[in-house]
Chains A and B, each alone.
Chain A
Amino acid sequence: MSQEPHTETRPATPTAHIASIGTALPGDPVDNASLAKMLGVNEEWIEVFIGTKTRHFARDLATGEVRWSLADLCARAAEKALYADGVDASAIDFIVLGTATPDTLMPATVNDVADQLGLDQVPTFQLQSGCAGAVQALSLAQTMIASGQYRTGLVIGGDVCSKHLDVRRDLSDAAPSDLVNFVLFGDGAGAAVLTAEPAGQRIAVRHVLNRFTGLGRKAGQVIEWFGLADRHDDRQALTEDYKAIEEGVPVMAVEILWELLGELDWEADDLDYLLPPQLSGRMTRRITEELGLPTAREVSCVADTGNNGNALPFLQIEKLLGEMSPGEKALAVAVESSKWIKAGFALEKI
């Protein structure tokens, strides 16, 4: 049985506002030449097929040393967001973190972030999610502010994908689906201060979409976690059905775009900026072409940052803030190919 979205009964999205953004990328960028050498693969293939030029890793790939935890990166991004808006941390009423790669299963990383920020006695939430996690965090934060109970929240997204990138093992027989992870992914975090009233950057969040659409669909991306009983399994830790992603994500991105425009009653020509899904430099270029919005300026970061999961929307918004003028509109599209989640949001500077 097919299920249609319940558009008729959905109330209009109440508005919250992004006051500021902060981001954190660990260490120096790692270029394709260094990665190609480490992996024994063709550098040009990375450039042409993946289209990503650099990425940042929290872990020193050569030695395996963990230089920054996810909590470290998230706290650094949150500090920057708080500093940018001149908000004292004590004004924060709640924290929501979206991540697919928490430092530990317990405590939830969001609580370590709160600790690093010197916050106490605040509600914290952590959403376990891939590329849609930042949008889910935004959705929850917006709902909390709309409830009237909370006025200022921290929305954080981040991932440390390098946990599953081990170049010290023998990669000569590694499957292409294993090797590709090294060149696709990166680490990073981003944070936004969300407020009830316009403040700081005065970016109104006009709509947030977060919907599971994976009924009966095989997962397009899987990240395993290993415990004491199964840690010696030789399962690949991070697998992607690249073919399904290549076929499915562009179609879903177009559907998300038109659904968001319909919800907002915006015309495609109204859009000043488009924040497309950030899979890889090449896939993002392809998806942007298929979205077909010649008048909207594309705001992307993945070619420079790598796919660092839940940090991406914040990195895109940070770039957007440098360009956006009052009255301008932006629309973000995200797809989580794990269990096929449609996500996106609409912003307007006021």
Chain B
Amino acid sequence: MSSPASTFTLDAFTRLVRDEIGIPLQPEQVSADFDELPDWDSLYLLKLVTALESATGHGVPVGKILEARSLKEIYDLAVPA
């Protein structure tokens, strides 16, 4: 079920990344550059984009997300403050 963007917290996002992609992401790694995340693969964005759209209930800026260097940047793009 979709939840409003405002209630989609960073913690919920971290859980979503773990559940959808299956990488053992720790909360402190959310802001890490992708180069510092050995388990990260840019291919994961396929699942993440779809899951984010479902979780936030709206579209996300795919082009900008592909340029993001960390999961936190992706969260900020998907859930603008």
- Whether A44 and B63, one on each chain, are in contact in the complex, defined by CB atoms closer than 8 angstroms, is yes
Interface status of B28 (Cβ within 8 A of chain A)? no
A40's contact among B41, B45, B50, by CB below 8 Å, is which? B50
Name the interface residues of B34-69: CB closer than 8 Å to any CB of A. Answer: 41-47, 49-50, 53, 62-63, 66
Evaluate whether A41 and B46 lie within 8 angstroms (CB atoms) in the complex, with A242-B41, A243-B41 already known: yes
Q: How far is the CB of B63 from chain A (nearest CB, A)?
A: 5
Q: How far is the CB of A240 from chain B (nearest CB, A)?
A: 9
Query: Closest residue to B54 on the A side, CB-wise?
Result: A40
Q: What's the tally of chain B residues with a CB closer than 8 Å to chain A?
A: 14
Instruction: Give Cα A42 to B44, complex, Å.
Output: 13
- Whether B44 and A48, one on each chain, are in contact in the complex, defined by CB atoms closer than 8 angstroms, is no
Instruction: Give Cα A46 to B10, complex, Å.
Output: 26
Dominant secondary structure at the B interface: helix
Interface status of A219 (Cβ within 8 A of chain B)? no
The stretch among A146-154, A175-183, A197-205, A291-299 that forms the contact with chain B is A175-183
A44: B residues at CB distance < 8 A: 62-63
Instruction: Give Cα A49 to B43, complex, Å.
Output: 9
**A–B pairs, 26, beta carbons within 8 Å:** A40-B50, A41-B46, A41-B49, A41-B50, A42-B50, A42-B53, A44-B63, A45-B49, A45-B50, A45-B62, A48-B62, A48-B63, A48-B66, A49-B45, A49-B46, A49-B62, A49-B66, A176-B41, A176-B45, A176-B46, A177-B41, A177-B43, A180-B43, A242-B43, A243-B42, A243-B43
Give me the 7 closest cross-chain CB pairs, A-B, nearest first: A44-B62, A176-B43, A176-B46, A42-B49, A242-B43, A176-B47, A45-B49
